Amino acid sequence: MTTLLTTPIIPEVADLGALFTPRTVAVVGASDDTRKYGNWISVQALEGKQPVHLVNPNRPTVLGRPTVPSVTAVGEPVDLVVVAVPAAGFEAAVDDALAGGARAIVGISAGLGEAGADGRRLQERVVAKVRDAGARLLGPNCLGVLDHTSGLRLASNDFPVGDIGVISQSGNMALELATWLVDHDLGVSRFASLGNQADLTAADLIEAYAVHDGTAAIALYCEDFQDGRRLVSAASRAAAAGKPVVLLTVGGTDASVRNARSHTGAMVSSGIVVGAACRAAGMEQVSSPAEMAHLLQALVRTRLPSGRRVAVLADGGGHASVASDRAASEWLEAVEFSASLQDRIAAELPPTAGVSNPIDVAGGGEQDIHCFARVLEHLQTTDEVGATLMSGYFGGYGGYGDALAEAEVETAEEMAEVVARHSGSLVVQTMNHRSAAADRLRTAGIPVYRGIDEASWVLGRLAARGARGADGVPALPDPEAPLADTGYFVARHLLEEGGVPFPGAVEVCDEAELRAAGAKLAFPVVLKALGDEHKSDRGGVVLGIPDEEALVAAYRDIVDLLAPPSCSVEEMADLSGVVELLVGVRRDPRFGPVVLVGLGGVYAEVLRDVACALGPVTRDQAKELLLSLRAPHS
Amino acid sequence: MTTLLTTPIIPEVADLGALFTPRTVAVVGASDDTRKYGNWISVQALEGKQPVHLVNPNRPTVLGRPTVPSVTAVGEPVDLVVVAVPAAGFEAAVDDALAGGARAIVGISAGLGEAGADGRRLQERVVAKVRDAGARLLGPNCLGVLDHTSGLRLASNDFPVGDIGVISQSGNMALELATWLVDHDLGVSRFASLGNQADLTAADLIEAYAVHDGTAAIALYCEDFQDGRRLVSAASRAAAAGKPVVLLTVGGTDASVRNARSHTGAMVSSGIVVGAACRAAGMEQVSSPAEMAHLLQALVRTRLPSGRRVAVLADGGGHASVASDRAASEWLEAVEFSASLQDRIAAELPPTAGVSNPIDVAGGGEQDIHCFARVLEHLQTTDEVGATLMSGYFGGYGGYGDALAEAEVETAEEMAEVVARHSGSLVVQTMNHRSAAADRLRTAGIPVYRGIDEASWVLGRLAARGARGADGVPALPDPEAPLADTGYFVARHLLEEGGVPFPGAVEVCDEAELRAAGAKLAFPVVLKALGDEHKSDRGGVVLGIPDEEALVAAYRDIVDLLAPPSCSVEEMADLSGVVELLVGVRRDPRFGPVVLVGLGGVYAEVLRDVACALGPVTRDQAKELLLSLRAPHS
C-alpha cells in the first residue's frame, strides 16, 4: 500500500498564518508578578519582532511599559491574542479578543476542559465562538507559541534556534528535548504547546509545519491524538514533503494512561494501534526526548542507508568489536568483506589493521589521519554495504599537536565530501564528539554521536525506515456504528458473508437441539460453550467427539460445569497444512475501528507463556516484546 | 545455590603490591619522540609519586632528565619496570629488568603473543622467566598501569580520580569510559591494561582490586576470559566483598569475534555462556562504556531496591507518563497507590497534582520546592513500593531566583537525608543534571542521570540484582576430557546411567536387525535415521509406526532417502502432560563444559520462527531476544 506516494502533496492546508506570523500581538493578563505565566510570556513577547500590547485593566504599566485595559481598546486589529487569565475570566477575554479582531488566540488559562464537566462546557462554548468568528484557538491549558523564523516569542521559555518544528502537549518535555537538540547543534524553528487541543489539534499543526520553509523535521509529543485518522494523514503528507514526524507518546502502561487522563484529560490510544498508525504514516515513534533528538539529528542530516549491511570503521579493537555487537542488536549486520575489498582497504592502513569488517585502523589515525577518508571512499563505493558506522576516537588526534589537529579537520571535510559524492550514508560515534573535527562533520551534514548506543540505534532506525517505506494511508470511509450484538454467531456470520469459509455449525440450547445438530453434521465434531471468553481454559471446549453418544455426554458435562446460555456444535476443521491466524477488531477511542491480524494458535500464546515461565515478566513487557519483534521491519 | 555467601571472603589473594604500590619504577625505552609510547609513559611517570629511572642506552637524557643505560645500571632494586621497546628487544629488556630486581613488569611492547606462532613462543619463554624469578608480568601489548591511591602514573594517558577500578583490554575503551564516569562525578582508582594476559589475567586483577581500599566497584572490559572459572570465582568474591564487577565484553556477533581474534588473539566465549557466568558471579553485563558508567554510578551510590514496584515522582505530566512507560519496559512497575497513601501525598501538593502513581507535583515545585522531600518521605516509608524514580526538572527551579535556588539545594539535602534514614532507594533523572541541586544530590549519594532512558534502565538493573542475588559459584571438579564418541546411543546411555528414563530402543543396521527389534519392542514405534543432526527436517524420522509391515516400509524409504549408517527403532513416548525440555552440552574454550537447559519442543523453536516469520530478523537478534527474556530475572 503506497497510495501515499502517488497522492498530490499537501493539496490544501491551513498554514495558520495568524498564529505563527501575526502582524501585531497582545498579551491579556500581562503581569509584573514573576510567579505568573502572564509575566513570563510578556517578558518573552517583548523580545519578539512583533509590536506587543500588554493588556491589564488594573495596572497602568507592566514591565515598565504602558498597558491597555482591553484588546478592543488597542484601537487597531490585533492578529494574535494570548489569554493568560484565570479560568473564570477566560470567556470574557476571548470575547474581547475576537471583538478586537483577533484571528488567532493562544489560551494559557488552565482549569477548563481538563478540569471536569463545567470546564468542558465552558471550553466548548468558547471554541464555538472562536470558530464562528473565523479565528483559531491554540490550547487552552497550553504554554504558548514561538516561531524563530518570524521572530514570534509567545511561550513561557525561549528555545535554541534551528530547523526542528516542535509540537508538544508538555512544556517540560519540550524544554528537555531542546537540551538534547543542542547536543547535536540542532534547535527549534517553531514551538506550539498543544494544551487541551480544544480547537487546533496536533494534526492541524503538522499540516502547518509541513508547508513551513524553516522546518526540516517535526517533533511531536502528544498524549491524545484527537482525530487519529486525520493525524495519520497529516503525518503522511509531511513525510512525503520531506519533513518526517518523530512521535513521543504515552500509554504503554496503566500508570501513564492514568496520568495522561489527569494531565490533559486525554483519551489514550492503545500502543499497538499507535504503532500501526506510525508505520502507516511514516512516523518514527520513540520512547524518550533523548531518543527523539538522536533520531532527528540523523533524519535532518543524512540520507537513508540502502539495506542493513553496514561497515564498522573504528580506531581500536575494542570499539570495533563493541560497535559490531551493538549494530547487530539494532537490525544491522557487519558482513565480512570480500577478499578484494579487504585488499583495497588494507592498502590504506598499517599492516596490523583489521580489515575484514569491522575495520580497526589500529595506529592508522596517528600515522596518517587521512586514512579515514580514503577507507571511507572504498566503503561508500562498494555495494557490499549500504552504510558506515564509525566508532571510537576521531576528533581526539588533534590533541597530539597542531599539525595533526589541522589534518584531522581536513580529514573531516574529506569524509563529508566522500559521503556527498556517493550514495551511501555515514553515522559517526566518537568519544571526542565536541572536538573541532566532530563539529566540522556536523556542519557538513554528517550526524555525530557521543555514544555507540545511540549511534547504532539511530543507524538501525534509518536502515529500517529505508527498507520499509511508509505503508501509506488508504482512503477510509467513516466508521460505521458499532454492532449492538457481538456474540459468537454474529461474528461468524459476518465473516462468512465476507467470504471466510467455516465448518458447519449449529447453535443449541438443549439436548433435543443437540441431537438434531448431531444428525445434521459430520462427525467428529467439537462442542463449545458460548458466552464465556475463556471457555477453553475452563473445560468449555471438547474436541474430536466421535459420535452422538459422546456428544450428549460432553454436553451434559459442560452444562454441569458452566451452565452456558447456549453451545455451538461444529464439524472438526482439518488443520493439517494450515496456518493459524489471529484476527481481532477493536475500536480505538481516537483511531476508530482497527483490525489486528497476526499468527494465531500456539504462536499467539507462546511468547507470553515463555516470558511468564522464565521469570517475572509483566504483561507490559510481554506486549512490548511482541511489539519489538514487529518494530524494525514494517 | 548460595554457597558463595557462606564461603570465607577472599581467603588468600595476590594484592600485586609491586605492580600498584612500587617503591621505585623504571621506564625502558624512554623517548623524546612524541609519537612513541616510551615518550607518553615517561611523561606520565614523571607526574607520579615514585622515583623514576628513564632507561635508554642511546641517549644521555630524555625529557631533559639523565637516563641510565639499563635497569641493572640503576644500582638499587627497581620494583616495577615498564618495557616499551620493539618486540625484538623485549626478551633482553625483561632479562635486564629481572636482573635489576624487578618484582613486576609492564609489557607495552606489541608484536608478541598476538602476532603469530613465533611471537607466542617468545612470549611464553619470557613469562616462564618472569615467573621463575617470582615476579609478575602485565601485558605485553598493553597500555600500562595507573594507581591514583599510590600516585602511580605509568599509563599512556591520565584518568580522572575516583573510586572505580578499571581493568581493560582496550585503551580507547577505558578512555571513553572515563569520559562517561566524569558525567557522574566518578573517576578511576586504578587502571590496568590487560593486553595479551600472558601472565596476569583479568581474574588476578579483580582479586587485587577486591582487597584495595580505594576501589568501590570494578569496571572490566575483556575480550578473552582466559581461565573463565577462576574469573567467575574472583568476581563472586569481589561482589561478596561489596565491590561489584561490571563487565563489557564482545562476541555477540561473528564480526566482533573476528575482530577480537585479530585484536588480541582472543579466544572468545559464547554470549550465552558469558551471561550464565555473570549470573553465577553477580557480575553485571553491559553493552557499551556509557551503560557501564551509568550502572556504576548507581552501584557505588545507592542501595538495591526491594522488589520491582516503584513510585514515579515527576514535575510535569509528560515526564510522569514517559517515566512510567520507560520504567515498565525495564522490569519495573509503577503500581497504583492505595487511597490512604494517595491522601497523604495529596496533602503535600497543590490540588491539581496527580497522586495515584505516577505523581505529578504539577506546580508544586514553584510553589514550595520542599514538597519533593516531603513526598519522598511518604514514598520511602511505605511498603507499597521499594524505590522511587524521580523525573523531570529538579535543579532548574533555582533559575527563578536566589531564594528558590537556596531552597532547592536545601531540598536536595532533605531528600538525601530521607533516603539515608529509611531503607528504600532513589534514582533521579533531571534535564537540569548539572545544577547546584543535582550536584548536591550526587554528593549526598543519590545517583542522578540526565536521561530517563538510563535512569529507568539502571533502576531496573538494580531491582533485578536485588531480587536475584548471585546464583553463586559451586565448587567444580576439573573438567574431564571430552568423549571420543558422542553418537546418539552414547549420549542416550550416559543419560540413562544418570537416571533419565528412556523408552525402549534398538539400533539397527539392516532389515534383519529391524525385524528383530520390531519383535522386541511395543508398537507403535518411531524410526530415526542416525548420523545426521537435521534428520527430522529431511524425512529421517517417522512417527507412530503401527506394525512390523509399516516399519519395514518406513525403513526402506529412509534408506533410499538418506542411506544412514544406522537407525534407531524406539517405542513411542507418551507426551501427554509432560513438559519438553531441551538439554545441551557445549565445551566453551574458556569456561569449559557448560550445560544448557531450557524449555524444549515448540518453545525452543517458536521464538525463532516468529521472529523470522515477522520480518528480517538476524540469528543474532533472535538469540538476543531469547537472552533478553532471561536477562532481567535470574
Query: Smallest Cβ distance to A288: which of B288, B451, B467?
Result: B451
Question: Three cell numbers at A265?
Answer: 484529560
Contact B567, B558 (CB under 8 A): yes
Count of domains in chain B? 4
CA–CA separation, B236 and B223 (whole Å): 19
Q: The domain that contains A506 carries what CATH number? A: 3.30.1490.20
Do both A431 and A283 map to the same domain? no
Q: pLDDT value at position A265? A: 66
CATH number at residue A433: 3.40.50.261
**Is residue B631 over pLDDT 60?**
no
B354 touches chain A (CB under 8 A): yes
pLDDT tier for residue A6 given thresholds of 50, 70 and 90 = very low
Residue A9 lies inside a defined structural domain of this protein: no
Q: Which of A35, A37, A247, A259 should one mutate to test binding to chain B, selecting the residue with the greatest count of B CBs within 10 A?
A: A259
The answer to whether residue A67 scores a pLDDT higher than 90 is: yes
Whether A264 contacts chain B with CB within 8 A: yes
| pLDDT over threshold 90, residue A615 | no
**Per-residue 3-state assignment (H helix, E strand, C coil) for B83-108:** ECCCHHHHHHHHHHHHHCCCCEEEEC
Chain A: residue whose CA lies nearest to B393: A172
* Residue A417 touches partner B, C-beta closer than 8 Å: no
In chain A, the percentage of residues whose pLDDT exceeds 70 is 87
Res. B202: pLDDT tops 50:
yes
CB of A35 within 8 A of CB of B366?
yes
Residue A509 in grid coordinates: 440450547
Same domain? For A288 and A318 the reply is no
Which pLDDT band holds residue A276 (cuts at 50, 70, 90)? confident
Q: What is the pLDDT of residues B156-170, one digit of tens each?
A: 889 999 999 999 999
Q: Is A395 in a helix, a strand, or coil?
A: coil
Residue B483 domain-assigned?
no
- pLDDT given for residue A624 in this prediction: 44
Contacts 24+ apart (CB under 8 A), B572-576: B572/B503, B572/B524, B572/B525, B572/B526, B572/B543, B572/B544, B573/B503
Q: By the CB < 8 Å criterion, does A347 face chain B?
A: no
DSSP B188-234: EEEEEE-TT-SSS-HHHHHHHHHT-TT-SEEEEEES--SSHHHHHHH
Q: Is B267 an interface residue toward A (CB < 8 Å)?
A: no
Helices (H), A539-618: 548-562, 602-614
Same domain flag for B289 and B307: no
In this model, does residue B575 exceed pLDDT 50? Answer: yes
Give the pLDDT mean for A578-600: 72
What tens digit of pLDDT does each residue of A411-441 get?
999 999 999 999 889 999 999 999 999 999 9
| Residue of A399 and A182 predicted with greater confidence | A182
Contact A322 B248 (CB under 8 A): yes
Task: Give A65→chain B minimum CA distance, Å.
Answer: 22
A431 plus A447 within the same structural domain: yes
Inside any domain, residue B634: no
Closest Cβ opposite residue B291 in set A258, A319, A453: A453
A475 within domain boundaries: no
Cβ pair B322:A629 closer than 8 A? no
pLDDT recorded at residue B12 = 39
Closest residue in chain A to residue B628, using alpha carbons only:
A625
Pull the grid cell for residue B397: 527551579
Rounded to whole angstroms, what are the CA distances from A249 to A231, A269, B320?
A: 13, 10, 12
Query: What is the DSSP-derived secondary structure letter of residue B455?
Result: H
Residues 6+ apart with CB under 8 A from A555: A508, A511, A514, A527, A567
> Which structural domain, as residue segments, surrounds residue B453?
303-467
**Is B251–A633 a contact, with Cβ atoms under 8 angstroms apart?**
no
Determine contact: A170 vs chain B, CB below 8 A.
yes
Q: Residues with Cβ < 8 Å from B559, sequence gap 6 or more? A: none
Higher pLDDT, A346 or B630: A346
What is the bridge-based pairing of β-strands B525-529 and B541-545?
Answer: antiparallel
* ipTM of the shown complex: 0.87
Residues B260 and B373 in one domain: no
The residues in B 466-505 lying below 8 A from A, measured between CB atoms, are 467
Which residues on A lie below 8 Å from B263 (Cβ)? 317-318, 320-321, 354, 360
Q: Is B231 exposed, middle or buried (0-12, 13-18, 19+ CB in 10 A)?
A: buried
Contact call for B255 and A312, based on CB within 8 A: yes
pLDDT at residue B600, as a whole number: 63
C-alpha cell at B17: 603490591
Q: Rounded to the nearest 10 degrees, how much is the dihedral formed by the CA atoms of A238, A241, A243, A246? A: 40
Q: What is the pLDDT of residues A489-515, one digit of tens each?
A: 888 888 888 788 889 999 999 999 999
Residue B3: what pLDDT? 29
Report the alpha-carbon distance of residue A282 to residue A238 in Å, rounded: 9
Chain B, 69 to 128: residues with Cβ < 8 Å from chain A are 110
| Radius of gyration, CA atoms only, chain A | 31
Q: Is the pLDDT of residue B380 over 80?
A: yes
Partner A contacted by B404 (CB < 8 A): no
Q: Is the pLDDT of residue A618 over 50?
A: no
Place of cell 645500571: B73
What pLDDT was estimated at residue B626? 42
Question: In this structure, which amino acid lies at residue A561?
Answer: L
Contacts of B609 in chain A (CB under 8 A): 603
Q: Is B95 exposed, middle or buried (0-12, 13-18, 19+ CB in 10 A)?
A: middle
Domain for residue A315, yes or no? yes
Residue A334, chain B, CB below 8 Å: the answer is yes
Chain-chain contact of B328 with A614 (C-beta, under 8 angstroms): no
- Cβ separation A287–B453 shorter than 8 A: yes
Higher pLDDT, residue A155 or B424: A155
What pLDDT, on a 0 to 100 scale, did the predictor assign at position B604? 54
B606 vs A611: CB contact, 8 Å cut-off? Answer: no
* Residue A586, helix vs strand vs coil: strand
Chain A residues with beta carbon closer than 8 angstroms to that of B599: 610, 613
Of residues A253, A325, A599, nearest to B325 (C-beta): A253
**Mean pLDDT of all residues in B76-88:** 96
Q: What is the pLDDT of residues A292-325, one digit of tens each?
A: 999 999 999 988 998 999 999 999 889 999 999 9
pLDDT, greater one: B628 or A91:
A91
| 3-class SS of residue B363 | coil
H-assigned helices in B478-614: 488-497, 511-520, 548-562, 602-614
Provide the pLDDT confidence category of residue A627 given band limits of 50, 70 and 90. very low
A443-452 pLDDT per residue, tens: 999 999 999 9
Burial A248-287 (b: 16+ CB within 10 A, else e): bbbbbbbbbbbbbbbbbbbbbbbbbbbebbbbbbbbbbbb
Q: Do A632 and B615 count as a contact with CB atoms less than 8 A apart?
A: yes
pLDDT at A474: 65
Q: Which residue has the higher pLDDT, B470 or B92?
A: B92
- Residue carrying C-alpha cell 543519590: B446
Residue B614: pLDDT band with limits 50, 70, 90: very low
Q: CA A413, CA A437: separation in Å to the nearest integer?
A: 8
Distance CA B634, CA B632 (A): 7
d(CA A631, CA A90): 44
Residue A273, pLDDT score: 81
Q: Which residues in chain B have Cβ-Cβ distances shorter than 8 Å to A261?
A: none
* Residue A478 falls inside a structural domain: no
Give the best residue of B43, B321, B404 to mutate against chain A (max A CB count within 10 A).
B321
Answer yes or no: do B260 and A602 touch at CB < 8 A: no
A61-62 and A65-66: which strand pairing? antiparallel
Q: What gap in Å lies between CA B320 and CA B429, rounded to an integer?
A: 11
User: Do A458 and A492 sit in the same domain of this protein?
Assistant: no
Q: Of B145, B20, B26, whose CA–CA distance to B81 is shortest?
A: B26
Please list, residue by residue across B255-280, b when 16 or more beta carbons sit within 10 angstroms of its beta carbon and e when fewer do. bbbbbbbbbbbbbbbbbbbbebbbbb
In this complex, is the C-beta atom of A149 within 8 Å of any C-beta atom belonging to chain B? no
Cα A475 versus chain centre, distance = 21
Tell me the pairing of strands A567-571 and B25-28.
unpaired
Q: What is the mean pLDDT of chain B?
A: 87
Strand B505-508, strand B567-571: pairing? antiparallel
The shortest C-alpha distance from B131 to chain A (Å) reads 29
Per-residue pLDDT, B609 = 43
Residue A176 touches chain B, beta carbons under 8 Å: yes
The verdict on B566 and B508 lying in the same domain is: yes
| B431-489 confidence digits (pLDDT tens) | 999 999 999 999 999 999 999 999 999 999 999 998 877 666 666 667 777 777 778 88
* Model confidence pLDDT, tens digit, residues A201-235: 999 999 999 999 999 999 999 999 998 889 999 99
Q: CA-CA distances (angstroms) from residue A445 to A293, A430, B116, B433?
A: 15, 16, 42, 29
Final residue belonging to a domain, choices B281, B299, B317 = B299
Task: Find the residue in B nearest to A169 (Cα).
Answer: B318
Interchain CB distance below 8 Å, A318 and B221 = yes
Nearest to A228 by CA among A207, A254, A266, A202: A202
Give CA–CA dist A452/B291, Å, rounded: 10
What pairing do the DSSP bridges indicate for beta strands A359-360 and A284-286? unpaired
Q: Do A322 and B356 touch (CB under 8 A)?
A: no
Q: B80-83 and B25-28 as β-strands: parallel, antiparallel, unpaired? A: parallel
Please, are residues A408 and A397 in contact by the beta-carbon 8 Å criterion? yes
Residues in chain B: 634
B545 within domain boundaries? yes
Q: State the count of interchain CB pairs (< 8 A) between A and B.
A: 312
* Contact between B173 and A254 using a beta-carbon 8 Å cutoff: no
Q: Which residues contact A93 (CB under 8 A, 6 or more apart)?
A: A28, A29, A81, A83, A85, A109
Q: What is the mean pLDDT of residues A257-263?
A: 76
Min Cα separation A445/chain B (Å)? 24
pLDDT of residue B255: 82
A100 vs chain B: nearest CA distance in angstroms? 32
Say whether both B561 and B588 belong to one domain: no
User: In this structure, are residues B478 and B349 in contact, taking their beta carbons and an 8 Å threshold?
Assistant: no
E strand or H helix at B173: helix B171-183
Together in a domain, A215 and A126: yes
Cβ <8 Å between A170 and B319: yes
Cα-based torsion angle of the residue sequence A386, A390, A391, A394 in order, rounded to the nearest 10 degrees:
180
Residues with Cβ < 8 Å from B75, sequence gap 6 or more? Answer: none
Question: CB A258 to CB B168 under 8 A?
Answer: no
B52-55 and B25-28 as β-strands: parallel, antiparallel, unpaired? Answer: parallel
At A501-554, the pLDDT tens digits run: 889 999 999 999 999 999 999 999 999 999 866 666 677 888 889 999 999 999
Contacts of B173 in chain A (CB under 8 A): 316, 318-319, 322
- Give A163 to chain B, closest Cα distance, Å: 21
The last residue of one of the domains, among A299, A322, A352, is A299
Whether the CB-CB separation of A238 and A218 falls below 8 Å is answered with yes
| Phi, psi of B144, deg, nearest 5 | 110, -165
Give the residue carrying C-alpha cell 467428529.
A524
- Is the residue at A11 inside a domain? no
Subunit contact B629:A617, Cβ cutoff 8 A: yes
What pLDDT band is residue B352 in, cutting at 50, 70 and 90?
A: confident
Residues A267 and A313 in one domain: no
Is A610 within 8 Å of B629 when comparing Cβ atoms? yes
- Same domain membership, residue A170 and residue A38: yes
Q: In the beta sheet, which residues pair with residue A153?
A: A146
pLDDT given at position B603: 55
Contacts of A250 in chain B (CB under 8 A): 318, 321-322, 324-325
- CB contacts of B259 in chain A (<8 Å) are 317, 320-321, 324, 354, 356, 358, 360
Strand order across the B80-83 sheet: B52-55, B25-28, B80-83, B104-107, B136-138
Element (H, E) at B277: helix B271-281
B479 or B617, which is more confident = B479
Q: Are residues B173 and B310 in the same domain?
A: no
Q: Is A631 on the interface with B (CB under 8 A)?
A: no
Residue after which a domain boundary falls, among A269, A299, A329: A299
Q: How confident is the model at residue A480 (pLDDT cuts 50, 70, 90)?
A: confident
| CB contact at 8 A, A231 and A280 | no
Residue from the list A259, A610, A618 with its beta carbon closest to the beta carbon of B599:
A610
Region label for A169, one of left (φ > 0), alpha (ψ between -120 and 50) or beta (otherwise): alpha
